[in-house]
Structure 1
Amino acid sequence: TCLFNSHIPHGNASLLLRRVKVQDRGRYKCYTSTRKVMMEMTDEMVTCSSHNIFPVPQLTWTIEPPSAQEALENSTIKTTDHKGLFTVESTLRILGNLPNHTYICSVVSADKTQEWTASRKNQEGITQEVGHPLSIPCISPHSLQNFSLTWTFTSSSDSTVIFRYDSRSRQTFNLWEGQAELDQDLLLQGDGSLLLHKPDREEHSGTYTCTFSGPQSRHVIQTKVNITVPSNSEYQSVLFLCNGAGLHKDLNTTASYTIVQHGVECRRVQLQFEVQDEQGGSSPKTGEDLALPADTKTGQQETPIGIPVEGNDGLQSISLERD
């Protein structure tokens, strides 16, 4: 047997059988196909390519939501290798006036029986304050079956797979267990949005890439996330002064106050000090200044309930209790 290699680029993939025998009878089927369509995206261009196909396929571009299709300017190049198999590569200029859109590349076989799709979407960046729950959207543009979902986090050029799910085996890998999760019921409907419970500025600021992969499809959604800390609360300290001057002899005093964080009690601190008789010649002991660093994990300002006031006896306190 042999092929007419010089004719393959022109669509002739005929097979030559020499010295045919009865055993050679039967049905012969000839086709070549691609396993996947690849896409790359920059700030200005998106490129779609597919390799090792025969006969030459048809490549088309679409945008979702559909708009300004006539404005799509693309350049498509088709080449063949020494075996006569085709490679198709198309480059599309991103429309600057259509942010947050999905670019979809479709490759259709010459006989129209098979189709491969790839899509890419760069979502608008998300900014959220530290410690507040954050949902990063990831919606598949089409319904999928037998798919896998992968979430990748990139920070300082280092990429890490933080979540992976396979719909066939229902197996899940979650590197950020306790920090992030997905709703599997929604995931089976094409919603792979990632929920961060209490995002941290240092650990969770970066680029998140969500990838749906199916037998003949691949959909990528990329989102830049910036976790911020309120400017008036980072690395601040809260200073409280307890002054025991003017108290009576041998009086044990406990000053206590509660620190709250946006209305939620998070810490209770007590100061205890003893006061000696000033008339005995000894100076009263005073509570030391207490500086409480702001919670750097949440970065939110800690403020006392009420403002310390100075009474007639010179004692500055909050919720003063005397034994």
Structure 2
Amino acid sequence: MRMVKALAQAFLRLLWILTLAKCKIPDTHVTCLFSEDCVLPCSFKPSGNEIISWYRQKVLLLSHSQQGGDQPDQPPKDHRTRMYLLQDQLSRGNASLHLSQCGIKDRGRYSCLVNSTLGQQESFVIMKVEAPIKMVTMEISKNREIQCLSKDIFPAPRVQWSTLPPKANLRSTTHMAPNTEGLYSVQSKLRMFENTLTYVCTINSTYGSQSWKSSLQEGELIGEAGRDLSIPCMAPQNLQNFSLTWTFTRTNDESNVILSYDSLTRRTSNLWESRVGLEQDQVLMGDGSLLLHNPESQEHTGTYTCTFSGFQNRHMVQTQVTIRSTLQRSLTENMPNAGGQAERTGKSHSKMWVIAVVVAVVAAVTTALLLYRKQRANQRQANRTTVEDTEMQPMETIKTSDDLPMDNCQLTAEHNNGHT
């Protein structure tokens, strides 16, 4: 009976081993985060007498026996300090490998080998290491190139540029380089076109686990000293649980935070309390426009930067604000009236020409009258001289009445008497 029972157990054990050989266990894929702890799974049927070994690329990393503890053939000490099994889990059939502070060199294909009285069981784990994207920033260089920047990424990501509204034939230059730890820094450049565009840089992780988007828009604004000014800034669509930050930069100076807002707590930190503010009802709807109260020309002229930060999304609006003084405003306002002044001067000149013409005409008429009067006077003087000359001539003497001429009445009477 004992022999039959032993043969039956041997047959069942052989059948179980053959079943394990025929049923290949598929590889398990695990992605571990750089510099963080990670667990590679391994399970088995416990019998209380197992020898557990972990390998990477067929190189022994760790070996453990339920009866005698660690095996004589041990891996290097640095591996033993970073890799371990949980003792209280072995009796439950859990031989998962725990790794602390994963690095780029830890990637690879791991195998978990369990030898026991029940036979041998082997499973495989494909381990990937990823340093996720933590931040994507954008900035504008002096030669009008917009840069998209990120660092400490693994594996090397993919960079894509776009604009709003869309613009074709975007030609960018992207440079990636690993540091001593194998993490990549990304610098992508794009030549800017006009200020009306919103530039969008998207960085995607190689494993497809992340897609970060950063956008930047430029603007210009002119304000007047002593008059309130609204500096516009709108959040991207569907941006939720965001933070808003306003910074101010004078020429050749460092940026200083002047206001911040958190949509979750709805709290505002205002370092320019008497100068700037937000519309609380509007900011929750994505309108983060900054209200600048009673600005001064020199103190508040500079670059105001609005930054919306959300989940894997960052949007910036840089506005160059010029605050004009009262004198500048007066000069500007008077410049358009220069034409009016010229117009008035022209009208004055026209009036003067009219007056000059009238005066000239009056003078000409007066001169003509004077000449006419002078001519008449000369003519009268000439006539008077002629009369005087005639009166000065000697008269003929009449001695008798017969010498006197007869008038018509006398002639008529004599004529009538003669016929009588």
TM-score, shorter chain, exceeding 0.5: yes
Cα shift at 1:192: 0.7
Cα distance, 1:41 vs. partner? 1.2
The residue aligned with 2:222 is 127
What TM-score does the superposition give when structure 2 sets the normalisation length?
Answer: 0.47
Question: What does residue 319 of structure 2 align with?
Answer: 223
Residues 85 and 19 of structure 1, relative CA distance in 2, 3 Å threshold: farther
**Residue 86 (str. 1) matches residue 181 (str. 2):** no
Q: SS of the residue aligned with 2:281?
A: helix
Contact preservation (8 Å) 1:143, 1:189? no
Q: How many Å apart are 1:38 and its aligned residue?
A: 2.3
Q: Give runs of aligned pairs for residues 266-305 of structure 1, distance below 5 A.
A: none
2:110 pairs with 1:16 = yes
Equivalent residues in 2 for 1:97-246 (5 A)? Answer: 98-123=194-219, 125-156=220-251, 157-231=253-327
What per-residue deviation string (whole Å, max 9, x for no partner) do you get for residues 186-220 of structure 1? 21222111011322213322211111122312222
Question: Residue 54 in 1 paired to residue 148 in 2?
Answer: no
Where does 1:24-35 land on structure 2 (aligned, <5 Å)?
Answer: 30-32=128-130, 33-35=132-134
Q: Tell me the distance in 1 between the aligned counterparts of 2:176 and 2:56.
A: 22
Which has a greater percent of strand? 1
Bigger Rg, which one: 2
CA displacement at 1:15 relative to structure 2: 4.1
**Using the alignment, how far apart are the partners of 1:2 and 1:89 within structure 2?**
38
SS of residue in 1 equivalent to 2:255: strand
Structure 2 vs 1, CA of residues 76 and 159 (structure 1 numbering), >3 Å: closer, same or farther?
Answer: closer
Which letter does structure 1 place at the counterpart of 2:136?
Answer: V
RMSD: 3.2
- Displacement of 1:142 in angstroms is 3.5
How far residue 50 of structure 1 moved from its aligned partner, in angstroms, is 2.4
Q: Which residue of the partner structure matches residue 42 of structure 1?
A: 141
Can you list the C-alpha shifts for 1:258-299, whole angstroms capped at 9, x where unaligned? xxxxxxxxxxxxxxxxxxxxxxxxxxxxxxxxxxxxxxxxxx
Flag the structure with higher helix content.
2
- Displacement after TM superposition at 1:137 (Å): 0.8
* TM-aligned CA distance change 1:3 to 1:117, over 3 Å: farther
Distance 1:2 1:226, change over 3 A: farther
Instruction: Report the Cα distance in structure 1 between the residues aligned to 2:178 and 2:147, rounded to whole angstroms.
Output: 19
Distance 1:179 1:52, change over 3 A: closer
Alpha-carbon spacing, 1:153–1:86, altered in 2? closer, same or farther (3 Å): closer
State the Cα deviation string for residues 169-200 of structure 1 (Å, max 9, x = none).
22111122232211122212221110113222
The DSSP-based 3-state class of the residue aligned with 1:119 is strand
Does the 8 Å contact 2:258/2:271 carry over to 1?
yes
Whether the 8 Å CA contact 2:234–2:287 is kept in 1: the answer is: yes
Provide the rounded CA distance (Å) in 2 between the counterparts of 1:147 and 1:118. 14
Aligned partners of 2:135, 2:328: CA distance in 1, in Å? Answer: 51
Runs of 5+ consecutive residues of structure 1 not aligned to the other structure: 235-323
Distance in 2, matches of 1:152 and 1:232, equals 26
Shift of 1:231: 2.6
Distance 1:65 1:2, change over 3 A: farther
Q: Is the 8 A contact 2:231 2:290 kept in 1?
A: yes
* Alignment TM-score, normalising by the size of structure 1: 0.60
Q: 1:221 to 1:232 in 2, by over 3 A?
A: closer
When residues 15 and 226 of structure 1 are mapped into structure 2, their CA distance, relative to the original with a 3 A threshold, is: same
Give me the identity figure in percent: 40
Inter-CA distance 176–81: structure 2 relative to 1 (3 Å threshold): closer
Secondary structure of 1:143's match?
coil
Assess, with a 3 A threshold, how the Cα gap between structure 1 residues 31 and 153 changes in structure 2: closer, same or farther: same
Equivalent in the alignment of 1:244 = none
Cα distance in 2 for residues equivalent to 1:193 and 1:158: 22
Alpha-carbon distance change, 60 to 131 in structure 1, aligned in 2, over 3 angstroms: same
The SS at the match of 2:190 is: strand
Q: Distance in 2 between matches of 1:214 and 1:121?
A: 17
